[in-house]
């Protein structure tokens, strides 16, 4: 065995260890056509998952899981028997791209989104082999037991609440339950190598070199300010890349609201707005598959020209940026992490190329590539 092969085997064993609740499974080469799941396979809630082979009839409670499945399967829509069809969570253009690949998505039975109340009846009626439920879903233990009594395997995954902890585990779990272990492991390795490179560099930074950051989620929505991450979710990414999220100082949950006076008093060194196609009608920050760079820059200039925001040091000094909300809250978070790292520490991460990373993901992994304008800076004329 070569050194490279031994290193790859060691990595895969470590990567799978978070999925195993004990035992001595050989995780280095689980073939795609495995007849049964590894003993001790658990989901992100620590629940045991029992399988008798790969599952191909799946119900999901978050449309963004299509992206996760698209990292490991050439036609993720073909795996679904029910979904919530949250077009806003995917973005209209991205939804249309999935629909072009899998026309059957348009007529699939609907189930409740994880953002709403759990609907046991619609899920039972869809008769999936597997129900992929979100960590934040409000499903009760009794309802889970009813699904399992009906012969439906239930697995909880998480790409959004605690992504630094659960994203890899969730993707590897998807690989196990769908028989696409190798593909899941390859993407996890791709992401981990890039995350580790950033973590090692950030570890050398003194506390004084960690700039304050205000991330305004859904910038311009409703015309007011200021939606912000707190502790968890996107806020964890800001800490990971060596920033100090001012929202985390006052918001204990993963998301909340800051008043404008507080933002002005903190005068953050870096401003990041998130947006997407869903903000077009609200005159907010628009980014995404069908958006040109010029449109994105105009939208960023507009939302940063609002009273209070325009006077922030970050805006006046040219440290104001925009990023696609759909791309942050997705299994492709490594693109956001690299972009944030460059914005916060341009000298330390001068060699990072998030566009090249996204190109590689499109080429090597995604069934439906992400192409469009997903991040933007203010042009020089707007920074003066």
- Average of per-residue pLDDT values in the chain: 88
With CA atoms as reference, report the closest residue to 190 among 357, 324, 321, 315: 357
SS3 state of residue 283: coil
SS3 376: strand
188 and 210 assigned to the same domain: no
State the residue for tokens 């566009």: 355
The pLDDT tens digits of the residues spanning 305-351 come to: 999 999 999 999 999 999 999 898 889 999 999 999 999 999 999 99
**What's the CA gap between 319 and 311, in Å, rounded?**
12
pLDDT digits (tens, 9 = 90+) for 67-82: 999 999 999 999 999 9
Phi-psi region of 373 (alpha: psi -120 to 50; beta: other; left: phi over 0): beta
Question: So what's the pLDDT on residue 90?
Answer: 83
Residue (of 204, 61, 222, 41) closest to 130 by Cα position:
61
Whole-angstrom Cα distance, residue 332 to residue 105? Answer: 22
Residue 30 belongs to some domain of the structure: yes
Q: Do the domain assignments include residue 200? A: no
**Beta-strand pair 58-60/80-82:** parallel
How many angstroms separate the CA atoms of 18 and 34, rounded? 19
Residues 7 and 156 placed together within one structural domain of the fold: yes
Q: Please give the residue range of the domain that contains residue 151.
A: 3-195
- In the numeric block, which tokens belong to residue 31? 């073939």
Residue 188 near residue 8, CB atoms below 8 Å: no
Whether residue 141 is predicted with pLDDT greater than 90 in this model: the reply is yes
pLDDT at 382: 45
Judge if 216 and 357 occupy the same domain: yes
What separation in angstroms does the CA of 301 have from each of 3, 219, 290, 315?
Answer: 51, 11, 19, 9
Instruction: Tell me if 284 is assigned to some domain.
Output: yes
Residue where one domain finishes, among candidates 195, 227, 251: 195
CA 228 to chain centroid: 17
Is the domain of 96 the same as that of 125? yes
- Beta carbons within 10 angstroms of residue 99's beta carbon: 15
> Considering the chain, what percentage of its residues have pLDDT values greater than 90?
72
Rounded average pLDDT over 106-110: 94
- Out of 149, 167, 195, a domain closes at 195
44 domain residue, yes or no: yes
Nearest CA to 368 out of 85, 35, 24, 102 is that of 102
Asked whether residue 49 is assigned to any structural domain, the reply reads yes
Q: Structural domain tally of the chain?
A: 2
How much is the pTM? 0.87
Q: Give yes or no: residues 244 and 184 share one domain.
A: no
pLDDT given at position 19: 56
Convert 313-331 to b/e letters by CB count within 10 Å (16 or more is b): ebbeeebbbbbbbbbbbbb
- The dihedral through the CA atoms of 27, 33, 38, 44 has a sign that is positive
Name the phi and psi angles at 315, rounded to 5: -75, -45
73 lies in the same domain as 163: yes
Say if residue 191 is in the same domain as residue 221: no
Instruction: Please state, as a whole number, how many other Cβ atoms lie within 10 Å of the Cβ of residue 292.
Output: 10
Instruction: Compute how many other C-beta atoms are within 10 angstroms of the C-beta atom of residue 11.
Output: 16
- Whether residue 336 is contained in a domain is answered as yes
Say if 238 falls within a structural domain. yes
Taking the C-alpha atoms of residue 131 and residue 139, their distance in angstroms, rounded to an integer, is: 12
The verdict on 189 and 228 lying in the same domain is no
Query: Could you tell me if 223 and 183 lie in one domain?
Result: no
302: domain CATH number is: 3.40.50.1980
Residues 107 and 254 in one domain: no
Contact assessment for residue 299 and residue 284, using Cβ atoms and an 8 Å cutoff: yes
Last residue of a domain, one of 172, 195, 218: 195
Q: What is the pLDDT of residue 51?
A: 85
Assess contact for 68 and 60: CB atoms under 8 A: no
Q: Are residues 177 and 107 in the same domain?
A: yes
Q: What is the pLDDT of residues 226-265, one digit of tens each?
A: 999 998 889 999 999 999 999 999 999 888 999 999 999 9
What is the per-residue pLDDT for 27? 31
Query: Cα 97 to chain center, whole Å?
Result: 19
In this structure, are 217 and 183 located in the same domain? Answer: no
Segment 214-229 shows an average pLDDT of 88
Q: Is residue 201 part of a domain?
A: no
């Amino acid at each position: 065995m070569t050194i490279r092969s031994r290193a790859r085997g060691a990595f895969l064993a470590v990567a799978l260890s978070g999925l195993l609740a004990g035992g001595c499974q050989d995780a280095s080469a689980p073939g795609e056509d495995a007849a049964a799941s590894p003993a001790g396979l658990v989901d992100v809630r620590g629940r045991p998952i029992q399988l008798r082979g790969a599952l191909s009839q799946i119900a999901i409670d978050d449309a963004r899981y299509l992206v996760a499945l698209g990292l490991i399967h050439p036609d993720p829509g073909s795996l679904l028997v029910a979904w919530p069809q949250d077009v806003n969570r995917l973005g209209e253009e991205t939804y249309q791209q999935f629909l072009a690949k899998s026309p059957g998505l348009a007529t699939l039975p609907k189930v409740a989104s994880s953002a709403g109340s759990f609907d046991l009846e619609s899920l039972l009626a869809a008769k999936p082999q597997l129900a992929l439920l979100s960590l934040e879903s409000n499903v009760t233990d009794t309802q889970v037991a009813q699904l399992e009594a009906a012969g439906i395997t239930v697995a909880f995954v998480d790409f959004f609440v605690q992504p630094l902890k659960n994203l890899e585990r969730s993707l590897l779990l998807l690989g196990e339950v769908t028989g696409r272990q190798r593909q899941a492991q390859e993407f996890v390795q791709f992401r981990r190598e890039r995350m580790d490179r950033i973590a090692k560099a950030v570890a050398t930074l003194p506390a004084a070199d960690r700039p304050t950051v205000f991330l305004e989620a859904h910038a311009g929505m409703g015309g007011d300010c200021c939606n912000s991450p707190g502790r968890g979710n996107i806020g964890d990414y800001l800490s990971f890349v060596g920033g100090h999220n001012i929202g985390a100082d006052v918001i204990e949950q993963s998301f909340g609201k800051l008043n404008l006076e507080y933002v002005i008093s903190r005068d953050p060194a870096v401003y990041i707005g998130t947006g997407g196609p869903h903000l077009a009608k609200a005159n907010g920050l628009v980014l995404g598959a069908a958006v040109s760079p010029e449109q994105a820059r105009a939208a960023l200039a507009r939302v940063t020209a609002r009273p209070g925001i325009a006077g922030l040091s970050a805006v006046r000094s040219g440290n104001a940026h925009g990023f696609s909300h759909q791309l942050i809250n997705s299994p492709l978070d490594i693109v956001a992490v690299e972009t944030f790292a460059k914005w916060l520490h341009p000298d330390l991460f001068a060699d990072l190329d998030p566009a090249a990373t996204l190109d590689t993901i499109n080429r090597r992994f995604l069934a439906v590539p992400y192409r469009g304008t997903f991040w933007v800076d203010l042009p020089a004329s707007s920074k003066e």
